[in-house]
């Protein structure tokens, strides 16, 4: 009996270590779903503050989905939080670029609040139909396919027009995927001011002199980061350091 207990006790500890994180993750996921459902009910009842609170709690319990970001954007739009609404519409689109309701509501929200959304060439809009992750897979696959089509056929003295054509097409797809990934990288390096009168400072400290002030809902490119600060450049030429809590990156860390 003592021998059996000596075997079972370490086994029980092992199973606890292995399965406890999974059980905790399952519990957290259920809690996030519950908060999400509570948020939906509150939104339908017109209680947008309570809906937003529940959606925020859901985001704390589990990694946010595109649907959660979309709902957060809608509640913040209803509450008049221009910056947070814009931020969450962008995050929903970043996670799921093929979410037509997010694109439609973003355009409507921008029109209602007089936000000037960045205009990009049509080619970039087409490339944005696939996510950054999907383009990364395509880039990896077609890079190696191009390499194989260029170098393998000559080794076997098999190099006709068909393989040359396939190599050209494969290379074109690879180059297109690189352009698309760079497009998504630029989108990911976007930050939104979520508060009114966000100060841009000369250095990444709270005590640094303020060089300019940016209003809520302004979009900027992130040039570099330092601790909890981001150095941003707005489309109207303003530059400086801002707290990442006030000028929030689209891509969460």
From CA 200, how far away is CA 191, in angstroms rounded? 13
Specify the DSSP class assigned to residue 197.
Answer: S
pTM for the model stands at 0.81
Secondary structure (3-state) at 81:
coil
pLDDT at position 29 over 60: no
Residue 247 burial (CB < 10 Å; 0-12/13-18/19+)?
buried
Backbone phi and psi for residue 101, each to the nearest 5 degrees, phi listed first: -65, -30
Provide the pLDDT for residue 161.
83
For 89, residues 6+ apart whose C-beta sits below 8 A from its C-beta are: 69, 70, 73, 102, 105, 106, 109
Provide the pLDDT for residue 32.
87
Secondary structure (3-state) at 29:
helix
pLDDT band at 4; cut points 50, 70, 90: very low
pLDDT at position 90 over 50: yes
Average pLDDT over residues 23-32: 55
Structure tokens at 243: 């707290």
More confident residue, 161 or 93: 93
Provide the pLDDT for residue 144.
95
pLDDT, tens digit (0-9, with 9 covering 90-100), for 136-149: 999 999 999 999 98
Percent of the chain with pLDDT over 70: 87
> What is the CB neighbour count within 10 angstroms for residue 235?
11
pLDDT, tens digit (0-9, with 9 covering 90-100), for 160-212: 788 889 999 999 999 999 999 999 999 989 999 999 999 999 999 999 999 99
Structure tokens at 246: 């006030």
pLDDT, tens digit (0-9, with 9 covering 90-100), for 214-226: 999 999 999 999 9
Helix 66-79 / helix 48-61 crossing angle, nearest 10 deg: 150
Provide the pLDDT for residue 253.
63
pLDDT band at 41; cut points 50, 70, 90: very high
Provide the pLDDT for residue 158.
72
Q: Which residues share a beta bridge with 240? A: 232
Residue 188 burial (CB < 10 Å; 0-12/13-18/19+)?
middle
């Amino acid at each position: 009996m003592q021998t059996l207990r000596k075997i079972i006790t370490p086994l029980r500890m092992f199973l606890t270590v292995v399965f406890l994180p999974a059980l905790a993750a399952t519990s957290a996921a259920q809690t996030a779903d519950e908060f999400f459902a509570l948020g939906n009910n509150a939104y339908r009842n017109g209680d947008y503050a309570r809906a937003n609170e529940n959606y925020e709690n859901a985001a704390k319990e589990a990694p946010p989905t595109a649907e959660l970001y979309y709902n957060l954007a809608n509640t913040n739009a209803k509450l008049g939080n221009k910056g947070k609404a814009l931020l969450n519409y962008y995050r929903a689109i970043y996670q799921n670029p093929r979410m037509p309701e997010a694109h439609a509501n973003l355009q409507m929200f921008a029109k209602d609040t007089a936000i000037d959304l960045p205009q990009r060439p049509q080619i970039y809009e087409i490339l944005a139909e696939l996510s950054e992750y999907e383009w990364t897979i395509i880039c990896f696959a077609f890079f190696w396919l191009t390499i194989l089509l260029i170098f393998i056929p000559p080794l076997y003295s098999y190099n006709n027009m068909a393989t040359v054509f396939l190599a050209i097409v494969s290379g074109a797809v690879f180059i297109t995927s690189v352009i698309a990934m760079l497009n998504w990288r630029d989108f990911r390096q976007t930050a939104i001011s979520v508060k009114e009168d966000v100060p841009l400072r000369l250095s990444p400290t709270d005590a640094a002199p303020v060089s300019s002030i940016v209003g809520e809902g302004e979009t900027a490119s992130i040039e570099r980061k330092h601790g909890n600060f981001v150095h941003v450049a707005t489309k109207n030429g303003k530059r400086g350091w801002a707290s990442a809590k006030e000028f929030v990156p689209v891509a969460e860390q």
